Amino acid sequence: MGWLRQTTDSSIGGKLIVAVTGLAMVGFVVAHLSGNLLVFGGPQAVNSYAEGLRKLGALLWVARIGLLVMATLHIVFAIKLNLANRAARPQAYAVKTYRRASFASRSMLLTGMALLGYILFHLAHFTFRATSPELAALGEYEVYQMIVLSFQQPLIAGLYIVSMLLLGLHLSHGVSSLFQTLGFNHPKYRSLVGSIGPILGVLLALGFSSIPAAVLFGLLK
Ligand code: HEM
């Protein structure tokens, strides 16, 4: 297992782990948004989708455990890299000049931590239904009703919309950066790789936010 230790101890190995786990989670987020958008097709569409997912049984658990492992590796190695980068810089810069680094790239640790907080809340809210007795009382597959009841509360809808903006910000730098780490850094691809993150970030933030916004404005009820 010496090679494994060597890979995970090196900064390029750590970067690769952050990139590959990040890419896998982007795959989940895109699939999750596609499923969630079925809410616009009405209760039947989204509820039977949720039921179908549950009926995957063991396969669903494999995906859940895979996601948990991805998220843990992503966080551990991203923090390790961040600390190593700080240690490599003997003193904080006296004058901060951020000519090249974008706001999104400088705030990765912060948006990442906020997203972790969001995901923990989201699991308590929709997966464990532990945040309100009203949700706990719904039937197992009444996902449409759960979404509408939740987002009729402006505070919850607002919290989700702000979190989706943070997700968009995190991915706008993260996705471009992961493709660079994976070797797409030829000048030919530079502008494509540079735009893919911001484009995906905006699409995902808008797509996810459309759900709480539609409920809040009474389009879904
Ligand atoms: C408007 C935004 C979102 C809505 C309406 C939404 C909706 C849902 C619902 C209804 C469930 C529970 C499904 C069930 O147990 O039957 C769920 C689970 C989950 N969501 Fe979301 N979601 C949103 C955004 C996100 C985002 C941005 C992420 C990740 C960054 C995320 C990650 C998860 C995870 C990890 C689960 C648990 C999956 C499982 O139990 O297997 N969600 N979501």
The string of DSSP letters for 13-30 reads HHHHHHHHHHHHHHHHHH
Atom number in ligand 1 closest to CA 60: 41
14 lines ligand 1 (CB under 6 A): no
Q: Which domains does the chain have, with CATH numbers?
A: 2-216 (1.20.1300.10)
Q: Indicate if ligand 1 lies below 6 Å from the C-beta of 208.
A: yes
Please report the sign of the dihedral spanned by the C-alpha atoms of residue 170, residue 175, residue 178, residue 184. negative
Side chain identity at residue 1, one-letter code:
M
Burial class (CB in 10 A: 0-12, 13-18, 19+), 62: exposed
User: In this model, does residue 130 exceed pLDDT 60?
Assistant: yes
Q: How many CB atoms lie within 10 A of CB 143?
A: 23
Task: Check if 147 has its Cβ closer than 6 Å to any atom of ligand 1.
Answer: yes
Per-residue confidence (pLDDT) for residue 108, from 0 to 100: 95
CA-nearest of 129, 201, 105, 209 to 163 is: 209
Concatenating the DSSP letter of every residue in 18-83 gives: HHHHHHHHHHHHHHHHHHHGGGGG-HHHHHHHHHHHHTTTHHHHHHHHHHHHHHHHHHHHHHHHHH
Model confidence over 168-216: pLDDT tens digits?
Answer: 999 999 999 999 999 988 888 889 999 999 999 999 999 999 999 999 9
Model pTM? Answer: 0.90
For residue 219, pLDDT beyond 90? yes
State in Å, rounded, how far the first CA of the chain is from the last one. Answer: 55
Is residue 20 within 8 A of residue 8, CB to CB? The reply is no
Does pLDDT of 99 surpass 60? no
Atom of ligand 1 nearest to the CA of 164: 27
